[in-house]
Structure 1
Amino acid sequence: MASNDDIVPAVRAVRSMPPVFTAGAAVGVLGGMIGLGGAEFRLPLLIGVFGFAALAAVILNKAMSLIVVVTALPARLAAVPLAELGAHWSIAANLLSGSLLGAWVGASWAVRMRSATLHKVLAVLMAVMAGALLLTHTTTLGAPALPGPVRTAAGVAAGFGIGVVAAIMGVAGGELLIPAIVLLYAVDIKTAGSLSLLVSLPTMLVAFARYSRDGGFAVLGANLRFTAVMTAGSITGALLGGLLLGVVPDLILIPVLAAILLVSAVKLARHTPPNG
């Protein structure tokens, strides 16, 4: 079980909320410009700038990601009608059969890790996210012809792995879900984006429920104003980023964002937590 110091750490005092809102907005803009929530960019800020311990940062990131996903869902449903998504219900069910368990397992691992170990794991996963970002946005994904049972098994395995990663990082997992849906099920990327939200939401709820068993709500209660302000900034930034979608060419934007993730991963790996 995680120690109380890991859940409710001594955080650097943030007396002024404008920097918190600005940081959230910057994250939202970066995510919005590529059609994602941007939680992977928020995590290093929570640890490196605002001084949260790794586990506390993951839990706060998960809570903010959950709110951002719920906010984005109506817009996604307007872009891709629910009836159209209903035709692909089996895809969501296939991935959820693995991701729900993966989310529970991932959160369980995270609360048992030493803080120093969690930092290193998060650094590796951020590098993985950078690779997924490059793969999704700079290459044309083609779906291999898989027999039905093999595709189903691959969907469960992919869902499990994505659930683990999303739970440990406190993200929605769209960066991994979207390419998995396109590759496994030959769905267009617009529909895949909407399906990813339908998979992300229950997966995040399971991870959040697991974190709550180890005092996860304590860090939220202790930082409620901080969380609300940064979330508001993230939503505002995501809306602005959506308006900027396509303004910066992907051939420039995606490598820059991947580089930001890689630099953050290196800094996180070198970060020395106060409690080791």
Structure 2
Amino acid sequence: MVADDAAVPTRVTRSLPLAFAAGAAVGVLGGMIGLGGAEFRLPLLISLFGFAALAAVILNKAMSLIVVLTALPARLAAVPLAELGAHWTVAANLLAGSLLGAWTGASWAVRMRSATLYKVLAALMVLMAAALVLTHTTTLGALALPGLAQAIAGVAAGFGIGVVAAIMGVAGGELLIPAIVLLYSIDIKTAGSLSLVVSLPTMLVAFARYSRDGSFAVLGANLRFVAAMVAGSITGALLGGVLLGVIPDLMLIPVLAIVLLISAIKMARHV
């Protein structure tokens, strides 16, 4: 099923240099805060490049998947696989919820009316802004839940994050990292790597669900555009990583949160 105006023309002329530049800007922002930045890419796909909501989500998901696949080897070099293996139960706990959440979220997205999807995306961007501020401006402590309660909370958190990541077309690290820190008392560096381990199969499930919908054709019709924007995102992420810490979080994070809130307002008003 295709949302009202989710499909775009099969061939649309869009500037590849502009796509690269926009991807680079997103990559720099993400790299400077240690995330992928896909939440900033989504409003650009809609407002700057003119994609309808569902088409933008599918493109964002494809790009996020490529960026995560590119980032995973670098993260494994920083946090060895053996160290991550010690926390396999954490990944399994979250995946028990996130895989189902990803399928569910993608199913909801393809069935929503376009006007509804814009409003849902706007609300989720407000959530992302709040998560961004919380993660980067406060010290997260562990909840210290007993075993069964922790497992139930992990599945519930994974499901919710899977739904959000699928509907927005993002990796979900903005939500996964604080969830891992809060629920499992894991340091934020290891949590960042674990979030990629969880998000990769979660994204693949959402991607598989979107591939069953007619709107998935937008990806094949815009492969050069996607390649240019992904190349820009990866280039920007490398530059952003170099700039990590140059601008203090207390200055950078509020600005980025405001950008997300403004984007949310514009998206909510989208007709």
- Pairwise TM-score range, normalised by the shorter structure: over 0.9
Work out whether residues 8 and 55 of structure 2, in 8 Å CA contact, stay in contact via their aligned partners in 1: yes
**Contact 1:9–1:53 (Cα < 8 Å) also in 2:** no
The residue that corresponds to 1:6 in the other structure is: 6
Over 3 Å counting, the alpha-carbon distance change for 1:3 and 1:185 in structure 2 is closer
Q: Where do residues 180-199 of structure 1 align in structure 2 (5 Å cutoff)?
A: 180-199=179-198
For 1:2, give the aligned amino acid: V
1:103 touches 1:166 (CA, 8 Å); kept in 2? yes
Deviations 1:86-142 (A, max 9, x none): 000000000000000000000000000011100000000000000000000000000
Partner Cα distance (1:9, 1:203) in 2: 29
Displacement of 1:10 in angstroms is 7.2
CA deviation after TM superposition for structure 1 residue 144, in Å: 1.4
Amino acid at match of 1:43: L
- For residues 5-44 of structure 1, the aligned pairs below 5 Å read 5-9=5-9, 13-14=13-14, 16-44=15-43
Distance (Å, rounded) in 2 between the aligned partners of 1:21 and 1:3: 28
Quote the Cα distance in structure 2 between the aligned partners of 1:263 and 1:73: 31
TM-score (norm 1): 0.96
* Corresponding pairs, count: 271
Residue of structure 1 equivalent to 2:121: 122
Q: Which runs of 5+ in 2 are unaligned?
A: none
Q: Is 1:176 aligned to residue 213 of structure 2? A: no
Does residue 235 (structure 1) correspond to residue 234 (structure 2)? The answer is yes
For residue 17 of structure 1, report the CA deviation from its aligned partner. 1.4
Q: CA deviation at 1:68?
A: 0.2
CA distance in 1: counterparts of 2:9 and 2:241, whole angstroms: 34
CA contact (8 A) 1:31 1:38 kept: yes
User: In the TM superposition, what is the alpha-carbon distance from 1:9 to its structure 2 partner?
Assistant: 4.3
CA contact (8 A) 1:98 1:158 kept: yes
Q: Is the 8 A contact 2:6 2:114 kept in 1?
A: yes
Could you tell me which runs of 5 or more consecutive residues in structure 1 were left unpaired when the two chains were aligned: none
Which amino acid is 2:152 matched to?
A
Distance, in Å, in 2 between the alignment partners of 1:76 and 1:182 is: 17
Which letter does structure 2 place at the counterpart of 1:6?
A: A
Measured after TM superposition, the shift of residue 201 of structure 1 is 0.2
* 2:262 counterpart SS class: helix
Amino acid across the alignment from 1:237:
G
Corresponding residue for residue 159 of structure 1: 158
Instruction: Trace 1:1-276 onto structure 2 (pairs within 5 A).
Output: 1-2=1-2, 5-9=5-9, 13-14=13-14, 16-272=15-271
**Percent identity for Structure 1 against Structure 2:** 82
Cα separation, partners in 2 of 1:188 and 1:28, compared to 1, 3 Å: same
Structure 1's 10 and 53: CA in aligned 2 closer, same or farther, altered over 3 A?
farther
Say if 2:3 and 2:112, in contact at 8 Å, map to a contact too: no
Distance 1:264 1:148, change over 3 A: same
Q: 1:213-256: CA deviations, max 9, x gaps? A: 01354111100100000010000000000000000000000101
Amino acid at match of 2:182: L
Provide closer, same or farther for how the CA distance between residues 213 and 253 of structure 1 changes in structure 2, counting only shifts above 3 A. same
Distance (Å, rounded) in 2 between the aligned partners of 1:9 and 1:53: 10
Q: Where do 4+ consecutive residues of structure 1 move more than 4 Å?
A: 9-12
After TM superposition, give the deviation of residue 174 of structure 1 in Å. Answer: 0.1
The answer to whether the 8 A contact 1:54-1:119 is kept is yes
